[in-house]
Structure 1
Amino acid sequence: MPMSSLPTAILSHMKIITNVPPPSLRSIPRLKASKIIDYGQLNELCHMRGLEYKSFHIILSAHEEFISQYPKIFVKKETKLKPKERKTQPPESEETHNIAVYLKKVHGNRNLYRQEAFEESIRKLLTILKKSPTQRTKQEHNIVWKMLKTIPDLTEKINSEQLKSLSMNIFSETWIKGSTVFGNDGFYVILKGLARLQKDPYKHLVEDIKSATSLMSSNCYSFVYNQDFKNTSITDLCVSSKCLKLKQWSTFGTLEITPGIQSDKIAYAVVTEEDCEIIKIPAKQYENLKLEMMKHDIAKKENLISKCPCYVELPTVSISKLATFIKWKKFSPGHVIAESGSIITFVAFINSGYCEIYRNIIAFVNLHTKMKKVRKLVYMGTLNEKESFGEISVLLQVPFACTLIAGSEVELAIIEDKNIFALDTFTQQYMLKNTRPTSGHLTDEDVRNEYVEKEKKREWETFKRNTMKEIFRSNGIIPDFGKWTHNWASIPRNLKTSLIN
């Protein structure tokens, strides 16, 4: 703003207060005021009442008011966040029951509230569940399975493999407001809407506490009987039961099939207070799935035993007995499964992977000035799929002859020693007669010769490598830096012409 347009009173009171002559026009920097100064506020400030008087006290009071109002002439810039810096925060008034949101907020991450994305995933899930199971794609089946795995009450009762199989056939049911849903024939999950228990929780606990605990899930919306309710009065409990609601992801019903549950339908009933979307896992379907998977598992175990070379002639009845005791167990590569010199406590059949066989030997090692005896492990071979080990060590209670180390990820079918001793005499005698010790055909002389051969080969390789290095060094040759070894990304400019010619 040009100095001449300022009121003379402002310039005069500046001289009186500061005892400094008014600044010249050159001393005022030129500002791009069109974007910084609000000229409306500046006009009001220049015509402020009291600046036209020459009295010292009047000018002083006007000056103080002028200074207080002076910052208003500058327009404040609105800071806009870049797209990467924008953060979506939850509304202050909106509440959520997801404890993960609050935990992440405590750790300083505010970009966590994804309510819109969550609702979109629910809508997508409901769209898939409305389709017939035969019309869903493989990707849609995986979406349903992954969403069901996030429900704690389901994962506590059903393992991942069973849940994946059940998710292939479930669908969503729509229940209008005021409907009564009986949960005595399956396990239900509320995906959308609000419901309440039909029966009073306290009365139900008095009649059948066990039934109540199986009905009501352990999440934050369900009623759980514990020690905290021992000192609670009946009145307080009944009042609190009025507020008992089943909301989204709440569960009710049962996966057990018993005559008592069939007769007491009302114990597992809820009343919808809104239009609800509910998925159902039928108890009968779950029971059939368990039986089918159990039969498949037993058939897999029997097939593994029957294909083992030592058990080809074992009767089917004995194979079935062995299969009932089998437990699956996995070992990572490098894990020591059995150690030489100790009595093994199980019989194992290799279902997948392989094990490396090592035998112990006492060898002399040259340690600078003296020889010392050292225990060495000598590799003698492998145990592959459909082979077994441990029968003789368990039945005769003798130390295991070798050390077994997992060469890859190994899955074993294991029968513990207590179950082996519980078998009939015929099966035990058959196992002793037809099985042989692991690496039992190898004598101590064979192990010693194998060790000597390996040591000779190792020493020769070391001697050959050191000799070649010494020859190269004495002739000034450095490996990988020779005349004809070049790792160029492109041909150097000074060589292109000669190469083309």
Structure 2
Amino acid sequence: MPLQTNAIGLQCGGNRIITGIDYSRLEALCRTSGLADCSDSKSTEEAHKDFMSSYQKIFLLPKKASPHVPLQSNSRPTYVPWGVQHGGNNASWDMSRSHSHGRLTQDHLITHTLKALRKLPIERSQTEQQTIRRVLNVFPCLTSLLSRQELHQISTIAVLESWERGQTIFGRHGLYLVLRGTVKLHPQEVARTASKTAMIGVGGCFGSLEEQGAGEVTVGDVGEVTQCAVTQDNCEILRIPSTAYAKLRQEIEAQKSALRQSVIQTCPFYLHWPKLSIKKLSDLIQMRHLPANHALVRQGEVSPFVAYIRTGECNILQDVPGLVGKLHRKKGNRVRYVVVGTLGPRESFGEVSVLLDQPSPCSVVTATEVKMGVILPDALKGLDSVSRALMLQTARPSHGERSQEQMNRMYVAQERQKEWVHIKKRVLSDALFYNGIVQGSGKWSRGRRIQQDARSQPCPSSL
């Protein structure tokens, strides 16, 4: 067996790399007859040529690795990160990966939606209804045709139809939304001309939500009157029946009308109104949702609308001009006001100001989020004289008249109460800080935190 030296990777002349020396060949080379030794100091010419031609064979060269398939029987599997295997350092690969993940998520959602749509509307669960609404809100052709409330309830009447390739779909029975496949629309004007046809893919719709007669046609999303469509593939098409949609609109309108009437009827002053007058007044109402600290009416100006509060509270403010005292020695023309009352649910304001075109004696500002029904002055102009007279008779002032002296006293009491609350809060915070008590920490909060952690931990018997 050849022996190797400890020097690995020696470099000789000619840029050759040797890994060791074969001592068996070196010993055989030294036994060559004719070489110089202790008895003969000169080598023969023939022995010298043999030595020079074969001495290079004593050096061991690195073996060339031949192509082969590595055996995996005795080797352990090596973990390689997923991103390294698939080019994790490549930005384009990461982008395509995220796009493919989005497509997979979208396909998964559409698959679940199709599965839910294959059931009858009465058999769908609340979760399936929410999944259908989530998908239908993505299609612009539906969001442009339906209101928000209609989109929320359209999943209760939508049905899924499966069509094979080459079948004809007549669009006079409702609105058709393509979920899978493609269809070809036929405009009525050029029904015989194949070059004028239009292709509709996923997300396109044709048909109409309005009920059509026997001789009428429907309208497609290409802007032309279309009568039928031919499927180019096996298609999954969502159909919204026009008759069911008409009933749904009637139900939604009835719910809105009942809500508007309830807003008026809950007010005590309108409790004994006849139903016909309430119906006329409710048709003029618009529902609004306003945030807190929103000025509804300004003192000295005509009210912009008649309001009926459904939920929330409003403050009635009145200006206090010409007040001079110890509490107000600062320079400036700041408008001072005092809270003279509040308005809550089942109350109204603005009738007299709008009908008689009079400036409001006070300001109204929302204290919380308020939901209310409002009637604009232009809408009240078309109201009959009987209903207008009833509104003037039933309207009551929001607060009684007060003298200037009473207003000054109320304002001083209000400012003193504000100052007292401010002083009490400051003294309490200083006392807590002096004693090293910080809000949100300490033994009491620690005890509460331990109790909360104990409640959140599972019971040992359940493990």
Same fold (TM over 0.5): yes
What is the Cα deviation at residue 323 of structure 1? Answer: 1.1
> How far, CA to CA, are the matches of 1:290 and 1:187 in structure 2?
15
1:58-114 Cα shifts (integer Å, max 9, x gaps): xxxxxxxxxxx9xx9xxxxxx98735788899xxxxxxxxxxxxxx98x97862223
**Pairs within 5 Å for 1:77-96:** 82-83=81-82
Residue in structure 2 matched with residue 298 of structure 1 by the alignment: 257
- Residues 212-259 of structure 1 show CA distances to partners (whole Å, capped at 9, x for unaligned) of xxxxxxxxxxxxxxxxxxxxxxxxx975x46x3222222111112244
Partner of 1:179: 167
Match of 1:257, SS?
coil
Q: In the alignment, what sits opposite 1:253? A: 207
How big is the shift at 1:202? 6.7
* 2:320 is equivalent to residue 358 of structure 1: no
C-alpha RMSD of matched pairs (Å): 4.4
Whether the 8 Å contact between 2:165 and 2:231 is mirrored in structure 1 is yes
Separation of aligned partners in 1, 2:208 and 2:349: 43
The residue aligned with 1:138 is 126
Deviation at 1:322, TM superposition (A): 1.0
- Give the counterpart of 1:479 among 410, 435, 446: 435
Which runs of structure 2 are paired with 1:460-479 in the superposition (5 Å)?
460=420, 478-479=434-435
Give yes or no for the alignment of 1:399 onto 2:398.
no
What amino acid is the match of 1:163?
L
Instruction: Report the Cα offset of residue 283 of structure 1.
Output: 1.2
SS of equivalent residue, structure 1 residue 280: strand
Task: Give the aligned length.
Answer: 384
CA 1:202–1:238: 2 relative to 1, 3 Å: farther
Match of 1:457 among 405, 417, 421: 417
Matches within 5 A, 1:419-430: 419-430=379-390
Q: Tell me which residue corresponds to 2:190.
A: 203
Aligned to 2:227: 268
Give the direction of change, closer, same or farther, for the CA distance of 1:451–1:82 in structure 2 (3 Å limit). Answer: farther
The answer to whether 1:12 aligns with 2:7 is: no
1:194 aligns with 2:195: no
The one-character-per-residue Cα deviations of 1:350-372 (angstroms, maximum 9, x if unpaired) are: 12212122111133366997776
Q: Unaligned stretches of 5+ in structure 1? A: 16-21, 26-53, 55-68, 73-78, 90-103, 208-236, 491-501
CA distance in 2, matches of 1:125, 1:431: 51
Identity of aligned residues (%): 25
Which residue does the alignment assign to 2:238?
A: 279
Q: Deviations over 1:274-315 (max 9, x none)?
A: 211111001121122112221221222122212212222322
Among 98, 106, 113, the residue aligned to 1:111: 98
CA distance in structure 2 between the partners assigned to 1:388 and 1:290 by the alignment: 30
> In 1, Cα distance between the equivalents of 2:394 and 2:413?
33
Residues 172 and 87 (structure 1), Cα distance of their counterparts in 2 relative to 1, 3 Å cut:
farther
Classify 1:238/1:464 alpha carbon distance in 2 versus 1 (closer, same or farther; 3 Å).
Answer: closer
Question: In structure 2, what is the equivalent of residue 157 of structure 1?
Answer: 145
The aligned runs of 1:28-43 (5 Å cut-off) are none
| Alpha-carbon distance in 2 for matches of 1:255, 1:87 | 49
1:446 aligned onto 2:406:
yes
**TM-aligned CA distance change 1:465 to 1:282, over 3 Å:** closer
State the distance in 2 between where 1:379 and 1:181 align: 67
Structure 1 residues 87 and 330, CA gap change in structure 2 (3 angstroms):
farther
1:367/1:353 CA distance change after superposition, 3 Å: closer
TM-score calculated relative to the size of structure 2 = 0.70
Report whether the alignment pairs 1:335 with 2:335: no
Aligned to 2:344: 384
Corresponding residue SS for 2:278: helix
| Structure 1 residue 186: Cα displacement | 0.4
User: Computing the radius of gyration over CA atoms, which structure comes out larger, 1 or 2?
Assistant: 2
- From the superposition, tell whether residues 397 and 445 of structure 1 become closer, same or farther in structure 2 (CA, over 3 Å): farther
CA distance in 2, matches of 1:82, 1:372: 70
After TM superposition, the score normalised by the length of structure 1 is 0.65
Q: 1:190 to 1:405 in 2, by over 3 A?
A: same
**Alpha-carbon deviation of 1:438?**
2.5
Task: Give how far 1:405 is off.
Answer: 1.4
Structure 2 CA distance for aligned equivalents of residues 165 and 267 of structure 1:
27
SS in 2 for 1:262: coil
Q: Give the match's secondary structure for 1:112.
A: helix
Write the distance in 2 (CA, Å) between the matches of 1:289 and 1:351: 25
Structure 2 counterpart SS, 1:378 = strand
The answer as to whether partners of 1:175 and 1:276 remain within 8 angstroms in 2 is yes
Q: Structure 1 residues 118, 264: CA separation in 2 closer, same or farther (over 3 Å shift)? A: closer
